[in-house]
Amino acid sequence: MNKVLQTFDEAVKDVPDGAVIMIGNFAGPGGTPFYLIQALRRQGARNLTIIANTAGGIGLTLDYDDHRVLFENKQVRKVIASFPFSTSASRPSAAEKQILSGEVELEILPQGTLAERIRAGGAGIAAFYTPTGVSTVIEKGKEVRVFDGRPCLLERALKADYAFVRAFKADSMGNLVYRGTQRQFNPIMATAARTTIAEVDEIVEAGELPPESVVTPGLFVQRIVEVKEDPGFPRNLKRSFQVRRG
């Protein structure tokens, strides 16, 4: 068994057109699998469905090349997200323009529903009921059922062909540990995809991670790639990245 690959290009080379891909991502660069995203842009698979918290390029804090590059490169057909639009009206993202023109389909969800649908996908739960979204635009087309006097929506599980996750360290078994708020969607996405690819700061030997500290058990991870120092690491981020690494 060998899960360790040497390059990001090799790790994404079999992604076919039409694949469903989950990408770990939140408000900033922490916990985003930057190198896997760049490799997928080079690889060029099209008609993708992206499941992620944002549609990239939200402009909240630091400007960097997240999965917005997949929209800019016209590789995306559909996006499922909770925070799909740029926070800046004057700097709309590529996704925003493509969604408004009808080129890309958007399914917008409350963030907790997005997270729970992914968790359900990984846990073999077909669907669940939740009150969040009742009497809002989220209700459209969904079954409503009352539990304990409270109306709830039926929400179905989400699964993917691939999950791109970012973690701090992996061991050779694929066990993952995370650093700080890097964790966000990554551990649940790792459970919900047929092929999970982890981008990590460092790969260590089996036995070097304390078993009690493992967050993502290795069975959820099929491929691991270590980030080698890259002078081009996220544009405009070099300073904070150096700060982080002391």
Partner 1 sequence: MKERLSREAIAMRIAKELFDGAVVNLGIGIPTLVSSFVPEGMTVIYHTENGALGFGPVVTAEEMKEKADIDLVNASGQYVTPLPGMCFFHHADSFAMIRGGHIDITVLGVLEVSEKGDLANWMFPGRGVGNIGGGMDLAFNARKVIVATEHTTKDGKPKIVKACSVPLTAPECVDLIVTDVAVIEVKDQRLLLKELAPGWSVAEVQALTEPALTVSPDLKEIELL
Q: Is 204 in the site for partner 1 (CB under 8 A)?
A: no
For 132, the token pair is 């969040």
Can you name the residues that pair with 105 across neighbouring β-strands? 78
Minimum separation from the CB atom of position 245 to partner 1 (A): 10
Q: Is 33 in the site for partner 1 (CB under 8 A)?
A: no
Contact yes or no for 73/41 (Cβ under 8 A): yes
Which listed range, 37-45, 72-80, 113-121, 224-232, lies at the site for partner 1 (CB under 8 A)?
Answer: 113-121
DSSP code of residue 110: -
Can you name the residues that pair with 153 across neighbouring β-strands? 130, 144
> How many positions of this chain bind partner 1 (CB under 8 A)?
57
Q: Is 213 in the site for partner 1 (CB under 8 A)?
A: no
Which one, 111 or 172, has the nearer CB to partner 1? 111
Which one, 43 or 111, has the nearer CB to partner 1? 111
Q: Is 20 in the site for partner 1 (CB under 8 A)?
A: no
Can you name the residues that pair with 23 across neighbouring β-strands? 164
Which residue's entry shows tokens 């917008």?
108
- The C-alpha atoms of residue 33 and residue 106 are separated, in whole angstroms, by 22
Contact yes or no for 71/104 (Cβ under 8 A): yes
Task: Return the residue of 6, 7, 47, 135 that touches partner 1, per CB under 8 A.
Answer: 135
For 194, the token pair is 């047929």
Residues that bind partner 1 (CB under 8 A): 26-31, 58, 60-62, 82-85, 87, 89, 96, 99-100, 108-113, 115-116, 118-119, 130-138, 168, 178-188, 215, 237, 239-241, 243-244
